Amino acid sequence: MSILGTRVLRTEDPKFLTTGGVYTEDVADDRLEGACHVFFVRSPLAHARISSIDVSAARQAPGVIGVYTGADLADLAPIPPSAAGLINTEMQQRLLAVDKARFVGEAVAAVVTEHPYQGEDATELVTVDYDPLPAVLGFDPADDSLLFEAAGTNVAGYWGDPSKLDAQLFDGCEVVVKQTIVNQRVAPAPMETRAAAAVWGDDGRLTTWIPNQGAQGTKADMAKLLGIDESLVRVITPDVGGAFGAKFGADPEHAVVAWIARRLGRPARWTETRYENLIAMTHGRAQQHTVTIGGSRDGNVQAYRLEIVQDAGAYPKIGAVLPMLTILMTSGPYDIPKAEAVAKVVVTNTTPIGAYRGAGRPEATAALERAIDLFAAEIGADPADVRRKNLLAPFTEPHRTAFGALYDSGDYVAALDKALTTAGYADLRSQQAQRRASGDVRQLGIGVASYVEITGMGDGEGTPPEENATVEVHPDGTATILTGTSPHGQGHATAWAMIASEELGIPVEKFTLKWGDTDLIPEGGGTGGSRSLQQGGAAVQQAARELLDVARLRAAAELEANAADLVFDKGRSAFNVAGDPDASVPLTQLAENERLLIRTVFSQPGATFPFGTHVAVVEVDTETGKTTLLRVITVDDAGTVLNPLLAEGQRHGGIGQGAAQAFLEEVVYDDAGNPLTASLADYPFVSATEVPSFELASMATPTSYNPLGAKGIGEAGSIGSTPAVQNAVVDAVAHLGVRHIDLPVTSRRVWQALQAVQPGSEQ
Q: Which residues bind ligand MCN (CB under 6 A)?
A: 242-245, 357, 488-492, 495, 527-533, 537, 638-643, 646-647, 650, 653, 710-715
- Alpha-carbon dihedral angle through residues 522, 524, 526, 530, given to the nearest 10 degrees: -170
> Which residue, 371 or 533, is less far from ligand MCN as judged by CB?
533
Question: How far apart are the C-alpha atoms of 421 and 564, rounded to whole Å?
Answer: 51
Q: How far is the CB of 647 from ligand MCN (least distance, A)?
A: 4
Question: How far apart are the C-alpha atoms of 491 and 134, rounded to whole Å?
Answer: 47
SS3 359: coil
CA 12 to chain centre: 22
> Which residue, 336 or 504, is less far from ligand MCN as judged by CB?
504
> Which residue, 249 or 714, is less far from ligand MCN as judged by CB?
714
Q: How far is the CB of 737 from ligand MCN (least distance, A)?
A: 38
Residue partners of 587: CB distance under 8 A and separation at least 6? 473, 504, 505, 506, 551, 573, 574, 575, 596
> Which residue, 102 or 492, is less far from ligand MCN as judged by CB?
492
Q: How far is the CB of 546 from ligand MCN (least distance, A)?
A: 21
Question: How far apart are the C-alpha atoms of 726 and 179, rounded to whole Å?
Answer: 15
Question: How far apart are the C-alpha atoms of 481 and 471, rounded to whole Å?
Answer: 5
Phi, psi of 239, rounded to the nearest 5 degrees: -60, 150
> Which residue, 76 or 495, is less far from ligand MCN as judged by CB?
495
Amino acid at 276: E
Vertex 74 angle, CA 262 and 345, to 5°: 110
Q: How far is the CB of 82 from ligand MCN (least distance, A)?
A: 17
Taking 3-state DSSP, the helix, strand and coil percentages for the chain, each rounded to the nearest 5, stand at 30, 25, 45
Is residue 647 within 8 Å of 709, Cβ to Cβ? no
> Which residue, 344 or 357, is less far from ligand MCN as judged by CB?
357
> Which residue, 141 or 639, is less far from ligand MCN as judged by CB?
639
Label the pairing between strands 479-483 and 511-514: parallel
Q: How far apart are the first and last CA of the chain?
A: 64
Q: How far is the CB of 9 from ligand MCN (least distance, A)?
A: 13
Q: How far is the CB of 593 from ligand MCN (least distance, A)?
A: 34
Vertex 208 angle, CA 207 and 211, to 5°: 150
> Which residue, 261 or 646, is less far from ligand MCN as judged by CB?
646
> Which residue, 184 or 650, is less far from ligand MCN as judged by CB?
650
Q: How far is the CB of 244 from ligand MCN (least distance, A)?
A: 4
Residue whose Cβ sits closest to ligand MCN? 489
Strands (E), 396-548: 399-400, 406-407, 442-452, 466-473, 479-483, 511-514
Q: How far is the CB of 540 from ligand MCN (least distance, A)?
A: 10
Q: How far is the CB of 237 from ligand MCN (least distance, A)?
A: 13
Q: How far is the CB of 209 from ligand MCN (least distance, A)?
A: 18
DSSP letters spanning 607-666: -B--EEEEEEEEEEETTT--EEEEEEEEEEE-BS-S-HHHHHHHHHHHHHHHHHHHHT--
> Which residue, 289 or 531, is less far from ligand MCN as judged by CB?
531
Question: How far apart are the C-alpha atoms of 648 and 8, rounded to whole Å?
Answer: 12
> Which residue, 219 or 488, is less far from ligand MCN as judged by CB?
488
Q: How far is the CB of 751 from ligand MCN (least distance, A)?
A: 33
Q: How far is the CB of 646 from ligand MCN (least distance, A)?
A: 4
> Which residue, 534 or 573, is less far from ligand MCN as judged by CB?
534
Q: How far is the CB of 263 from ligand MCN (least distance, A)?
A: 33
> Which residue, 244 or 669, is less far from ligand MCN as judged by CB?
244
Centre a 10 Å sphere on the Cβ of residue 286 and count the other Cβ atoms it contains. Answer: 27
Q: How far is the CB of 696 from ligand MCN (least distance, A)?
A: 13
Closest CA to 680 of 316, 94, 14, 187: 187
Question: How far apart are the C-alpha atoms of 575 and 447, rounded to whole Å?
Answer: 56
Orientation angle between helical segments 716-734 and 747-757, nearest 10 degrees = 30
Is residue 216 within 8 Å of 522, Cβ to Cβ? yes
Question: How far apart are the C-alpha atoms of 284 and 322, rounded to whole Å?
Answer: 10
Closest CA to 52 of 126, 128, 106: 128
> Which residue, 100 or 285, is less far from ligand MCN as judged by CB?
285
Vertex 131 angle, CA 129 and 137, to 5°: 125
> Which residue, 207 or 604, is less far from ligand MCN as judged by CB?
604
> Which residue, 42 or 317, is less far from ligand MCN as judged by CB?
317
Q: How far is the CB of 705 from ligand MCN (least distance, A)?
A: 12
Q: How far is the CB of 252 from ligand MCN (least distance, A)?
A: 21
Residues recorded for the chain: 763
Write the secondary structure of 560-619 as one string of H (helix), E (strand) and C (coil).
CCCHHHEEEECCCCEEEECCEEEEEEEHHHHCCCCCEEEEEEEECCCCECCEEEEEEEEE
Indicate the DSSP class of residue 744: S
